[in-house]
């Protein structure tokens, strides 16, 4: 899915508000690498934060309101009142936040349903069911 938003064009990353053009799904990198593999070419743009060891998928605003994941998985949906550090279009490697999957025309947002399925499969495989979890 494509969405028009002010992708940084300068040399520096900028803070942009989640919930306006997209929501962001923040995933620990050790889970995120498997999610990326599962999604393959169907993934939309993904931001990698090497300092926080996180990956951020961009999805349609409000489309993940009902998502629940076990707290121990540390997966968070960032929407209104959250800010995300967005790298410039051309930053594809460190230092700093960069695009793990570039933001390309026609492939900005990841399918909410496909991302949800990939996250559940990865969490179930890597972390397994825990007492009190829905996995």
* pLDDT tens, position by position, 32-89: 999 999 999 999 999 999 999 999 999 999 999 999 999 999 999 999 999 999 999 9
pLDDT tens-digit map of 2-26: 567 878 888 999 999 999 999 999 9
pLDDT one-digit tens code per residue, 21-35? 999 999 999 999 999
Residue 70 tokens, joined: 């076990």
- Model pLDDT, residue 133: 52
Q: C-alpha distances in angstroms, 127 versus 12, 40, 64, 70, 92? A: 36, 21, 21, 10, 29
Q: Is the peptide bond before 95 cis (omega within 30 degrees of 0)?
A: yes
């Amino acid at each position: 899915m494509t969405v028009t938003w002010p992708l940084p064009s300068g040399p520096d990353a900028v803070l942009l508000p989640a919930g306006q053009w997209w929501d962001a799904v923040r995933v620990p990198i050790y889970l995120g690498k498997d999610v990326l593999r599962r999604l393959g070419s169907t993934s939309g743009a993904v931001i990698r934060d090497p300092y926080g060891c996180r990956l951020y998928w961009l999805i349609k605003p409000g489309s993940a309101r009902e998502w629940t994941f076990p707290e121990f998985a540390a997966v968070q949906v960032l929407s209104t009142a959250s800010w995300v550090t967005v790298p410039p279009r051309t930053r594809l490697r460190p230092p700093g936040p960069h695009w793990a999957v570039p933001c390309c025309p026609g492939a900005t947002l990841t399918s909410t349903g496909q991302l949800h399925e990939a996250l559940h499969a990865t969490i179930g495989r890597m972390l397994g069911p825990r007492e009190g979890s829905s996995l």
